[in-house]
Amino acid sequence: MDYAITFACYNQVDYTRQCIDSMQRAGTPLERLVVVDNASGDETLAYLRGLPLGKVIHNRDNLGCGVAWNQGALELQSEWTIIMNNDVLVSPQWVQGLIESATLHQLDIVSPAMIEGPLNYDFAAFAQQARQRAGSTMRLGWAHAVCLAVHQRVWKEVGYFRASPKLLGYEDTLFFHEARKAGMQVGTTGASWLHHFGSITQSAMKRERGLKESQELGYRYNHRLLHQPWLERKMDKVRLKRQLRQWREDEIARLGFSLWGSSTSGALSW
């Protein structure tokens, strides 16, 4: 498979280490991984430079997700580029599951199924069982930015991420918006599973700025960049919420779990 992997990081070296350790356990070749360090002040850069990665890019300032994702995608150009967070754990065959599912369903962008929250369960065992039972399950029409595999034709037709540090996390919303406008086909597959600890870097940046967890990190009027009427945006959210609920109910009825769950109090919930 012709693919590359990239993620940006800003401090939080322990989560970056856990992420890369999980890749090594899963047999993911590190030479396909490009990591962009957005001016971390902890041990992140020293840790990364001690690994046999495809590339370590060091930015002297925090240039934001969009800039870093573009740097990573352009550094190791491949048929498929996997853009992901650094606060995740991967499971065996996660890349294979993503790309094979995308090829089967003729998708341009595909995301893995995911559990969010503390790691208070046996993720490896769950991921193996879930992949076997839900490998053919697909949510057509929806993907997420915690991890997404992007085909090279998307870069050519839609372009890359909006490269503005001031967006502070809104880059993914703009990217998906442009992809939908261009008719790109997206989906989330049960053939690939991640554990996501949950917006660790975003939370740390909020604390740096004295913001509450409930507050938005980015500019509150970033939605104006969508050039979408308020009512249309509202209706899109309502339709998505209804569709997500329907997917969840159908998956639980058929599988006993859904493609998006959370770990709380030592148990998984859907």
Written as tens digits, the pLDDT of the chain (270 aa) is 899 999 999 999 999 999 999 999 999 999 999 999 999 999 999 999 999 999 999 999 999 999 999 999 999 999 999 999 999 999 999 999 999 999 999 999 999 999 999 999 999 999 999 999 999 999 999 999 999 999 999 999 999 999 988 887 889 999 999 999 999 999 999 999 999 998 777 777 667 667 676 666 566 667 888 888 989 999 999 999 999 999 999 999 999 999 999 998 778 999
Q: How far apart are CA 110 and CA 191, in angstroms?
A: 11
If one counts every other C-beta atom within 10 angstroms of the C-beta of residue 234, the result is 11
pLDDT value at residue 214: 67
In this prediction the pTM is: 0.93
Amino acid at 221: Y
Token pair for 127: 């991921």
Q: How far apart are CA 156 and CA 153, in angstroms?
A: 5
pLDDT value at residue 117: 94
Q: Under a CB-based contact definition with an 8 Å cutoff, are residues 62 and 38 in contact?
A: yes
Report the CATH architecture of 3-269. Answer: Alpha-Beta Complex (3.90)
Q: Under a CB-based contact definition with an 8 Å cutoff, are residues 108 and 185 in contact?
A: yes
Domain ranges across the chain = 3-269
Q: Under a CB-based contact definition with an 8 Å cutoff, are residues 86 and 7 in contact?
A: yes
pLDDT value at residue 199: 75
